[in-house]
Amino acid sequence: MTATTKTSTPMTPNRTSRVEATIARRKAEGGGALIGYLPVGFPTLAESIEAAVALAENGVDIIELGLPYSDPVMDGPVIQAATQQALANGFRLRHGIEAVAAITARVDAPVLVMTYWNPILQYGVDRFADDLLAAGGAGLITPDLIPDDAADWFAASDRTGLDRVFLAAPSSSDERLAHAVEVSRGFVYAVSTMGITGARSDVDSAARILIDRLRLAGATSACVGLGISTPEQVREILGYADGAIVGSALVKALSDGGVPALGALAARLAAGATGIRAAV
Amino acid sequence: MSTSLRTETGPYFGDFGGRFVPESLVAALDELTNEYALAKVDPAFAAELMELHRSYTGRPSIITEVPRFAAHAGGARVILKREDLNHTGSHKINNALGQALLTKRIGKTRVIAETGAGQHGVATATVAALFGLECVVYMGEVDTERQALNVARMRLLGAEVVSVRTGSRTLKDAINDAMRDWVTNVETTNYIFGTVAGPHPFPAMVRDFQKIIGEEARAQVLELTGRLPDAVTACVGGGSNAIGIFDAFLDDPAVALYGYEAGGEGIETPRHAATLTKGRPGILHGARSLMLQDEDGQTVESHSISAGLDYPGVGPEHSWLSTIGRATYLPVTDAAAMDAFRLLSRTEGIIPAIESAHALAGTLELGKRLGPEATILVSLSGRGDKDMETAGRYFDLLDEGAQQL
């Protein structure tokens, strides 16, 4: 009847996670992965597809594609404004699937979809998983779905082999971190600071401590997100984490200067990631 | 009924409830859940809250029989539970006091709240002043305009009022911004949530702090009439005053329970807030419940003349009570509510909040159906002082030149 009980150890995934493989490859090269977020449908559906392709062509390893949602409680002003515009332009969930298919047809970078849970629930969890898989998508990042209430997503992701990326926060208990590591596939999304999305001048030292705690819990694929906007921050984070996630800064670049400005920022961030590779 | 309906403690009420929140908030929700569980069984906590109810709020609130109003309700006996007489003017103080005591117990120094009509914001600003807590209230820009007096009250009480300009600029967006604040400042900050919606433990905890309404009223009506009422009515936005008065009667199967939600300009139009009548199950603000949404699960903007009912979601316990048939939920239009608002004012000298006027309008129809033998207990959840600007415009009561507040 309810989904309150913690899910037991999940079934072994029936396919290898391309996201995990990408992160592992970058680590083997002496650094980590650069993950770039953009929302679907901003500024238009077609331009958002071009923008995501530009990320991959400029050195972003994994694309995180956000589905616009009316009540995005984890998002700061930059992403709120972009997704609100996408919704005003008539964004529909099927556009998300179409965008994944269009992007994966053109670039090799794995595409994860970042979405609040109600749109998936209304689309149908199984139906969305099937359509995402068919479109070449890698899995879901779920900012407002915690493992405690995710029974139907566990079933659908085990059936399809899609990645499921759960969040870990500085405030999470050791027990919850261990559970997040155990049930996540692709990577664990380490929230760098207590807060919402948006560029910050300092990425909290809390991120380093959180990654240390996730390592103790057995994490081999843990990426840091929230507040990261510069090549220097990417380099610093890849010194201890397996990936760095950049969102608002990319959205702002796209908003201010279109795809050319976005591509240029992505290239600079990728150089930050390469810097660590060269330095090690 | 052999099993009690009063023992549900969450996180789920049937299929409704849960905790659909960012991981960053889980520790705070766990802390609240655990501290509340301890406080609930601590006689000292109960005693302190009871004393505040008595000497600060003015509880127990009285009941008032309203025969001149009842003459328009098919002659049924109509009895009002007077939450409008509470300090700060509504039932919201019951919950704000409980959660402020809990905040002190946890040791946090800053509280935040969302508010629609401003009643919960005023109640929270009030208890923050009483306990010396820093207070920030999030309020949609649309609501700050239609409830300007409550904004002034909150500021006078020392609270910071943040006018929320995202989304539909009403209660739902105020909750989003309060959640964002909480995620960022959870170490020092407690979120005093104003209704029986939101993630666990809020639906059960806020109900527990509000159930004093029904517990008092049940005993008061028994004393006055010698029997239980035939029906209990309340308005429903998020649903805290309704749960508060329903709870004591849940295990009295002979007592019918009616919740009246905002029908706005009519449920055949898109401009309403009739969540239980027209909504589908979905997730909003951390809980699975009925809600107004489009095919893609995007929240649909609601409408009501009453800011306090202008919310596209509803508490999960109401969705459950509706599904199992224990309570009945019906829409009341803006026009019907405003007629009832004026009728109670003119027949009884009691100016209700426009929110509460929805319950009165529903009661007028219910009384005609139940007939003169029936007794109906109505939750008069708040008073209408805050609504004079809206009412003045609606009924054209203001002299020329007096329109600017």
Rounded CA-CA distance B379/B385 in Å is 17
**Whether A84 contacts chain B with CB within 8 A:** yes
Question: What is the nearest CA distance from B167 to chain A, expressed in angstroms?
Answer: 7
Please name the residue of chain A whose CA is at the shortest distance from the CA of residue B184.
A195
* Tokens encoding A274: 């390469």
**Whether B186 contacts chain A with CB within 8 A:** yes
End-to-end CA distance of chain B: 53
> Closest partner residue to A73 among B180, B280, B295, by Cβ?
B180
> Catalytic residue among B81, B289, B381, B386, which?
B381
Give strand ranges (E) for B216-351.
Answer: 231-236, 256-264, 280-284, 287-291, 327-333
- The three-class DSSP label of residue B10 is coil
Please name the residue of chain B whose CA is at the shortest distance from the CA of residue A73.
B176
- The three-class DSSP label of residue A120 is helix
Q: Is residue B139 part of a domain?
A: yes
Does B297 contact A172 at a Cβ distance shorter than 8 Å? no
B189, B241: one domain: no
pLDDT (0 to 100) of residue B405: 45
Does A172 contact B284 at a Cβ distance shorter than 8 Å? no
Give the mean model confidence (pLDDT) for residues A39-47.
Answer: 98
Q: Is residue B378 part of a domain?
A: yes
Does B26 contact A76 at a Cβ distance shorter than 8 Å? no
The CB density around residue B398, as the number of other CB atoms within 10 Å, is 15
- Which of the listed residues B186, B206, B226 is the one where a domain comes to its end? B206
Look over chain A and give the mean of its residue pLDDT values, rounded to a whole number.
Answer: 92
pLDDT > 80? residue A204: no
pLDDT > 80? residue A41: yes
Q: Is residue B402 part of a domain?
A: no
- ipTM tops 0.90: yes
Chain A residue numbers touching B302 (CB-CB < 8 A): none
Total number of domains constituting chain B? 2
B36, B148: one domain: yes
- Note whether B376 and B225 are within 8 A (CB): no
Per residue in A83-107, pLDDT (tens digit) is: 999 999 999 999 999 999 999 999 9
pLDDT (0 to 100) of residue B399: 82
pLDDT (0 to 100) of residue A196: 81
Question: What is the nearest CA distance from B319 to chain A, expressed in angstroms?
Answer: 15
B132, B257: one domain: no
B240, B278: one domain: yes
Rounded CA-CA distance A145/A125 in Å is 13
Q: Is residue B7 part of a domain?
A: no
Does B11 contact A2 at a Cβ distance shorter than 8 Å? yes
Instruction: Give the model's confidence band at A276: pLDDT under 50 very low, under 70 low, under 90 confident, else very high.
Output: low
Q: What are phi and psi of B232, to 5 degrees?
A: -125, 130
Q: Is residue B353 part of a domain?
A: yes
Rounded CA-CA distance A274/B314 in Å is 50
- Which of the listed residues B152, B171, B206 is the one where a domain comes to its end? B206
Chain A residue numbers touching B180 (CB-CB < 8 A): 73-74, 76, 196
Query: Over its length of 405 residues, how does chain B's per-residue pLDDT go in tens digits?
Result: 458 999 999 999 999 999 999 999 999 999 999 999 999 999 999 999 999 999 999 999 999 999 999 999 999 999 999 999 999 999 999 999 999 999 999 999 999 999 988 999 999 999 999 999 999 999 999 889 878 889 999 999 999 999 999 888 889 999 999 999 998 898 899 999 999 999 999 999 999 999 999 999 999 999 999 999 999 999 999 999 999 999 999 999 999 999 999 999 999 999 999 999 999 999 999 999 999 999 999 999 999 999 899 999 999 999 999 999 999 999 999 999 999 999 999 999 999 999 999 999 999 999 999 999 999 999 999 999 989 989 999 999 888 765 544
pLDDT (0 to 100) of residue A1: 36
Does B27 contact A74 at a Cβ distance shorter than 8 Å? no
Rounded CA-CA distance B191/B133 in Å is 12
Please name the residue of chain B whose CA is at the shortest distance from the CA of residue A167.
B23
Instruction: Render B141-205 in DSSP notation, one character per residue.
Output: HHHHHHTHHHHHHHHHTT-EEEEE-STTSSHHHHHHHHHHHHHHHTTTEEE---SS-SSTTHHHH
Q: Is residue B385 part of a domain?
A: yes
CATH number of B223's domain: 3.40.50.1100
Q: Is residue B140 part of a domain?
A: yes
Instruction: Render A264-279 in DSSP notation, one character per residue.
Output: HHHHHHHHHHHHHHHH
CA angle B240, B243, B249 (to 5 degrees): 160
* Tokens encoding B181: 């604040």
Residue from B20, B76, B301 nearest A88 by CA? B301
- Residue B78, domain extent: 60-89+211-394
Q: Please, which residues 100-129 of chain A have a Cβ atom closer than 8 Å to chain B?
A: 116-123
Choose the most confident range, by mean pLDDT, from A13-22, A267-276, B289-298.
B289-298
Chain B residue numbers touching A123 (CB-CB < 8 A): 296-297
**Whether A85 contacts chain B with CB within 8 A:** no
B84, B100: one domain: no
Does B12 contact A84 at a Cβ distance shorter than 8 Å? no
**Whether B169 contacts chain A with CB within 8 A:** no
B314, B389: one domain: yes
Question: What is the nearest CA distance from A258 to chain B, expressed in angstroms?
Answer: 24
Chain A residue numbers touching B17 (CB-CB < 8 A): 2
Query: Alpha-carbon Rg of chain B, whole angstroms?
Result: 19
- Which of the listed residues B206, B233, B267 is the one where a domain comes to its end? B206
B148, B260: one domain: no
Paired strand residues for B47? none
B111, B227: one domain: no
pLDDT > 70? residue A5: no
Chain B residue numbers touching A127 (CB-CB < 8 A): none
B171, B220: one domain: no
Rounded CA-CA distance A86/A38 in Å is 12
Q: Is residue B401 part of a domain?
A: no
pLDDT (0 to 100) of residue A11: 47
* Tokens encoding B182: 């909480």
Instruction: Give the model's confidence band at A198: pLDDT under 50 very low, under 70 low, under 90 confident, else very high.
Output: confident
Residue from B27, B92, B30, B368 nearest B240 by CA? B92
Question: What is the nearest CA distance from A116 to chain B, expressed in angstroms?
Answer: 9
Q: Domains of chain A (ranges plus CATH)?
A: 25-279 (3.20.20.70)
Chain A residue numbers touching B19 (CB-CB < 8 A): 146, 148-149
Rounded CA-CA distance A210/A200 in Å is 18
Known active-site residue B104:
no
DSSP state of A29: T
Per residue in B146-193, pLDDT (tens digit) is: 788 899 999 999 999 999 998 888 899 999 999 999 988 988 999 999
> Catalytic residue among B8, B35, B83, B114, which?
B114
Distances (CA, A) of B272 to B18, B331, B332: 26, 9, 9
Rounded CA-CA distance B236/B258 in Å is 9
- Note whether A111 and A55 are within 8 A (CB): no
**Whether A200 contacts chain B with CB within 8 A:** no
**Whether A73 contacts chain B with CB within 8 A:** yes
Instruction: Give the model's confidence band at A275: pLDDT under 50 very low, under 70 low, under 90 confident, else very high.
Output: low
Chain A residue numbers touching B165 (CB-CB < 8 A): none
**Whether A28 contacts chain B with CB within 8 A:** no
**Whether B200 contacts chain A with CB within 8 A:** no
Please name the residue of chain A whose CA is at the shortest distance from the CA of residue B25.
A171
Give the mean model confidence (pLDDT) for residues A53-59.
Answer: 98
Please name the residue of chain A whose CA is at the shortest distance from the CA of residue B299.
A70
DSSP state of B56: I
B384, B264: one domain: yes
B250, B378: one domain: yes
Model confidence pTM above 0.90? yes
Chain B residue numbers touching A118 (CB-CB < 8 A): 20, 282-284, 293, 297, 299
B26, B126: one domain: yes
DSSP state of B390: H
